[in-house]
């Protein structure tokens, strides 16, 4: 083919077939598009997993430093008779670590109970395989608040760690469905107090004891009938016995008719004998004879 013919062919306009080939190369097929999306999703998951592992490394380094510091600051003595100070401090750090890791791995809020089979499955999974959080975040943060209130005085390092955990949790709760989350006012109040440099520790008040039975009031004689002899009866009474029918009193002659005062004493002595035992002879003579 001569050079003139080659130039003529090159100067020819592109045909529709050439345009179709270019368009087919520019427009991916459905299969190619699916493979592209799957590849991008896999890359996104790998990037998220890598970032989460990097955050784990930072969290582990921070909590290990806090644990070493707690072992030097806190002792094994008890406060509020609950558990040693050191155990409370390590528990505080552990709760914060669980919350931070769960949020860092973008896990779901666990709606199952500890008795559900799903809980056993989640426990056996590795962190990158888990679907639900390592803990219940609102309950974990509130446990940290209770430890700071009733168990230990937080060091500045632990207080700063608590602020970090509370802020991370509240930010997650704001972007998540907050319906059903508990202890939100207490966590917000603790965060505000710690930011102001306040120590929220307080001595736990002991629970009020259950009131016992009321003391039984002795069945003393009627005060209106006999007031002076009450002290004698109270000092000599030994046991209360059930009431018995009084013995019939003998009929009195005109010479044996008692005065109103003697009649009152006689009636009172009879009533006392029916109710009590242990009256000595002198008290009986006094009540019967009025002397």
Structural domain of 180: 31-195
Residues 164 and 61 grouped into a single domain: yes
pLDDT, position 229: 45
Q: What is the pLDDT of residues 207-253, one digit of tens each?
A: 666 655 655 555 544 444 444 444 444 444 444 445 556 666 556 55
Residues 95 and 191 grouped into a single domain: yes
- Asked, for residue 207, whether it belongs to a domain, the answer is no
pLDDT, position 2: 53
Is the whole model's pTM more than 0.85, yes or no?
Answer: no
- Asked, for residue 112, whether it belongs to a domain, the answer is yes
Q: What is the pLDDT of residues 106-115, one digit of tens each?
A: 999 988 777 7
Residues 41 and 141 grouped into a single domain: yes
- Asked, for residue 132, whether it belongs to a domain, the answer is yes
Residues 139 and 262 grouped into a single domain: no
pLDDT beneath 70: ranges in the chain: 1-35, 79-82, 177-179, 204-291
pLDDT, position 141: 96
pLDDT, position 149: 94
Residues 42 and 159 grouped into a single domain: yes
Determine how many CB atoms are found less than 10 A away from the CB of residue 126: 6
- Asked, for residue 115, whether it belongs to a domain, the answer is yes
Q: Maximum CA pair distance of the chain?
A: 178
Residues 245 and 185 grouped into a single domain: no
- Asked, for residue 254, whether it belongs to a domain, the answer is yes
Structural domains of the chain, count: 2
pLDDT, position 235: 44
Residues 75 and 190 grouped into a single domain: yes
pLDDT, position 238: 45
């Amino acid at each position: 083919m001569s050079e003139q013919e080659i130039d003529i062919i090159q100067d020819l306009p592109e045909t529709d077939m050439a345009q179709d080939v270019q368009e087919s190369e520019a427009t991916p097929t459905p299969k190619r598009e699916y493979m592209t999306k799957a590849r991008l999703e896999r890359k996104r998951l790998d990037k998220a997993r890598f970032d989460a592992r990097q955050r784990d490394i930072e969290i582990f380094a921070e909590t290990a430093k806090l644990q070493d510091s707690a072992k030097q600051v806190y002792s094994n003595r008890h406060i509020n008779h609950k558990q040693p100070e050191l155990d409370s401090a390590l528990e505080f750090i552990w709760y914060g670590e669980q919350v931070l890791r769960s949020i860092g791995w973008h896990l779901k809020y666990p709606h199952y109970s500890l008795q559900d089979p799903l809980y056993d499955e989640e426990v056996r999974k590795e962190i990158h395989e888990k679907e639900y959080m390592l803990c219940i975040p609102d309950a974990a943060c509130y446990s940290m608040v209770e430890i700071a209130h009733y168990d230990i005085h937080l060091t500045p390092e632990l207080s700063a760690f608590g602020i970090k955990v509370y802020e991370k949790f509240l930010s997650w709760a704001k972007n998540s469905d907050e319906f059903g989350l508990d202890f939100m006012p207490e966590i917000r109040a603790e965060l505000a107090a710690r930011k102001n440099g306040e120590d929220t520790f307080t001595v736990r008040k002991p629970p009020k004891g259950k009131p016992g039975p009321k003391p039984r009031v002795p069945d003393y004689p009627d005060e209106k009938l006999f007031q002076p002899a009450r002290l004698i009866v109270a000092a000599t009474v030994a046991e209360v016995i059930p009431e018995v029918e009084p013995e019939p009193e003998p009929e009195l002659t005109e010479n044996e008719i008692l005065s109103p005062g003697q009649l009152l004493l006689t009636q009172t002595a009879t009533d006392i004998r029916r109710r009590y035992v242990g009256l000595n002879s002198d008290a009986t003579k006094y009540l019967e004879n009025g002397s």
